[in-house]
Structure 1
Amino acid sequence: MSTTKPNGRSQDAAAEGGSPAADPPGGIELPGHFIPLTRKYLRASLLQQLAEDGADIPQFTNALHCLASWRHSQYRARLLHLLDDYLPFLPDGDTTCLADITDAEKAAAHRRFIDGVQTLLESANYRRLREEDIQALLDAKTPYGLHLNVDLTAFDDVLIYYRGTDKRIREARNPWLLYLRKERFDEPLFQRLFLLLKLKPMERRIEEVMAEDGIDRARAEKKVRRIRGALPVGVTSSHIYLKLFKRIPKIDVEMLFPNTKIAFRPFDKLKLLVTAGGGTVAGVAGTASKLLVATNPITLAIALAGLSGVVFRQVMGFFNTRNRYMMVLAQNLYFCTLANNRGALTLIADRAEEEDTKEDMLLYVFLARRDEVSRADLDEVASEIQTFLQERCGVSVTFDLADACGA
């Protein structure tokens, strides 16, 4: 696995904003701020608690509705502002912007958009993967899947955020045991994974390759164009790409990048060497013996056809192995993708609104249950909320008091 660290705006973003992951993405995750309950269920649980306290339920129902309406209006405005900044970089827009935009205005829109997306993700209780965590995931070996080489230096912006971790049990036959026995192993997952990517401009990337590899401009340009030519049609440095996935195996994060290069596992290389090499040698030996005893053209033609068949079969075996890898890649991306670009931004805004609304309802209700409250009591209120969520709703959450108290 060959990977390199990103530079440019993505490093600046790591320093400027976004909360880093509090624990290694491959380890056990402590309870986070995400409240894994629907707004409807949480509101019903809160109203039931208030009813047991003898509170005026219609009054509280109206208050919670007003809180939700205010949050919806606020996030609708935030989303519209973000979409305005996203328009110059939108890959799949179907409308035309008649107003001219200068380079300075475009750069300012780019900065606002990146910062706004990070703020939105934090509001949705996503955690940012640190640079060292991304590198560790890209370098890790998988016991079952693809090995892909990813060049992170090709990007101006690389943001990866996740929300929630999980694991599933997988079974696979061990090739070193001749596939006679299945082995079970845990496969860690990201329940939700957000990816933002923006390629570096061609000219700047050429200059970087010249400096990195110590080659002239012509060779550097040829190298960069060859690599960019392998990207999907329409992928350019003028666009910002947003991707949202569900239940992505942590070990397969590299397959989400567009500039991946397939690399075979050591066992696959060994298998291809043994089968292709052994089969070809055997075919050549058999053909040679037939040629030595051949006394007519028909025998000679049959021997050469047999040799051609052996070589063709081994070559096709190589490509079939590669095709199986591509099928796994396509299946993972097809079934795990939730939204792209504008749709991903809208979905994140919806999730952020949902999280803030739930936090608002919890804080409002537990403050209202007290006759009076001071700033010194807020930590105690947060503890009561966490106890309520644990005992009545069955979820373990670290309530984000600072976020709930802010607008």
Structure 2
Amino acid sequence: MQIKNREDRFIPLRKVDVIQACIGMDKLPNESSEQFQLLSQLIISTLHFEFHQNLEVLKDSYAPFDPNSDTHSIKVFSEDELKAKQNVFAKAFTQVLNAANFEKITEQDLRDALEEESLFKVRLAVEFNDFSEMVFYRRGEYQKTETIKKWWGLKKDTVTFTNYDKVAVYIKFKDKEYFKEHNKAINNFEPGSTIIKLFQNVPKADLEMLFPNSEVRMRTIDKVIIGGSAVAGGAVVLVTKLGASLVVLAGLFSFWLGLSDKLVTISSQQLIVLGTGVGILGGFIFKEWSKFKNRKLRFMKALADNLYFKNLDNNAGVFHHLIDAAEEEECKEAILAFYFLTVDGPMSSKQLDTRIEAWLESQFKVKVDFEISDALSKLLRFGIVVKQNHHYHALPIDAAQKQLDTRWDSIFNC
């Protein structure tokens, strides 16, 4: 079960469905409905071109740091050039995330995640000092309720937790000198590289599993179970298997320490008993160690299985996913703002914002913190909305079409 936690900027609808819902309100004449649909396609095409340019900026600025690049680099960048590229990338990446209506996860949220018990019963440790930069973003926050089995399925508990629809991870590792200085192993990553990952359906309490250097650790309850089993098993072994061997060893130690004057002689039969006892003890220790390793392997498998289904994309592939998401959001915002200015007449920013949010809630039962300022800034930039006396006026649909046609043609004029 999912319960909305708070309003998000994200509009959980496809832009095609938004357009059809607007037309379905029958507030436009038939010919105007067709014109509005064409105008919507012009808005979509214009924004698609703009976001394609953003994609190229991301790809170019990220190329020197991409750990999965399959192309040859023909230029060696200086430290200053790399820093400049990193700054350009960080700024462009943040802008795309904001356009896609992602929110930054605060440091407090990350600290809470490390302190809360994992829903997957896996305890993880993260070495934050390995990173020079670390930023998490999320979209779609809500309360989720699930039933979790305990005590080998004998008990079931219902838990409610905060869940994120999408989580984007941006991490830059420190350089080689840091890992060499601290004598740290380098596994599955390149020092100085920047990794980008996108996940879905992530509980807030399990954010630490998204870190690339997280290590599985035993929980207290697991240590108690294994330790208790080892103590109980060890006592049984001592009493039933090693009794004879302990008697021989006790006599030897007493004589060597001067606690007894009785000389202990070890026969071949006693040597066999001692050897058997050592073998049994070694076998028992190996068995308990294997149980510990196997339990840790099960935890690691649970973590890997969980991440397998949550991972959506990695590194440069994330750009395409986010660019598409950002383009969808920008299109929906612009189309909705223009539509309601057309059918309801001039409005202030606040009036338009309230009108669209109320319509989304009544029509689709979704609460959205609509990005009115972003929507209006796009329409003003396109020249299809004008502002007069704190009110916004939409151009007639045919005039808006001509304006966008003219603007599109001017893009390629040299």
The reply on whether 1:287 has 2:241 as its aligned counterpart is yes
Residue range with higher mean Cα deviation, 87-96 or 292-301: 292-301
| 1:193 counterpart residue number | 167
| 2:317 counterpart residue number | 343
| 1:385 counterpart residue number | 356
The reply on whether 1:243 has 2:197 as its aligned counterpart is yes
The reply on whether 1:170 has 2:147 as its aligned counterpart is yes
Q: TM-score by structure 2 length?
A: 0.80
Tell whether the 8 Å contact from 2:126 to 2:208 is kept in structure 1 after alignment.
yes
CA distance, structure 1, for counterparts of residue 311 and residue 206 of structure 2: 14
Q: What's the CA shift for 1:312?
A: 2.2
Question: Structure 2 counterpart of 1:92, which letter?
Answer: N
Tell whether the 8 Å contact from 1:145 to 1:252 is kept in structure 2 after alignment.
no
| 1:46 counterpart residue number | 22
| 1:352 counterpart residue number | 326
CA distance, structure 2, for counterparts of residue 328 and residue 187 of structure 1: 20
* Aligned CA-pair RMSD: 2.3
CA distance, structure 1, for counterparts of residue 102 and residue 10 of structure 2: 8
| 1:402 counterpart residue number | 373
Q: Please give the secondary structure, in 2, of the residue aligned with 1:309.
A: helix
Percent identity, aligned pairs only, is 26
Rg larger for:
2
Q: What's the CA shift for 1:295?
A: 4.9
Q: Please give the secondary structure, in 1, of the residue aligned with 2:8.
A: coil
Segments of 5+ residues of structure 1 without an aligned counterpart are 1-26, 207-219
Deviations, residues 143-189 of structure 1 (Å, cap 9, x unaligned): 652111212222111010000124240322148xxx64222222432
Question: Pick from 365, 368, 378: which aligns with 2:342?
Answer: 368
CA distance, structure 2, for counterparts of residue 197 and residue 331 of structure 1: 22
Q: What's the CA shift for 1:194?
A: 0.5
Q: What's the CA shift for 1:53?
A: 4.0
Question: Structure 2 counterpart of 1:182, which letter?
Answer: K
| 2:232 counterpart residue number | 278
Q: What's the CA shift for 1:308?
A: 3.4
Tell whether the 8 Å contact from 2:145 to 2:158 is kept in structure 1 after alignment.
no
| 2:41 counterpart residue number | 65
Question: Pick from 46, 57, 70: which aligns with 1:94?
Answer: 70
Q: Please give the secondary structure, in 2, of the residue aligned with 1:30.
A: coil
Question: Structure 2 counterpart of 1:321, which letter?
Answer: R
Residue range with higher mean Cα deviation, 255-264 or 36-45: 255-264
Q: What's the CA shift for 1:104?
A: 1.5
Q: Please give the secondary structure, in 2, of the residue aligned with 1:169.
A: strand
Q: Please give the secondary structure, in 1, of the residue aligned with 2:126.
A: strand
Question: Structure 2 counterpart of 1:232, which letter?
Answer: N
Segments of 5+ residues of structure 2 without an aligned counterpart are 249-267, 379-414
Q: What's the CA shift for 1:132?
A: 1.9
The reply on whether 1:258 has 2:212 as its aligned counterpart is yes
Question: Pick from 225, 239, 244: which aligns with 2:183?
Answer: 225
| 1:19 counterpart residue number | none
The number of residue pairs the alignment matches comes to: 354
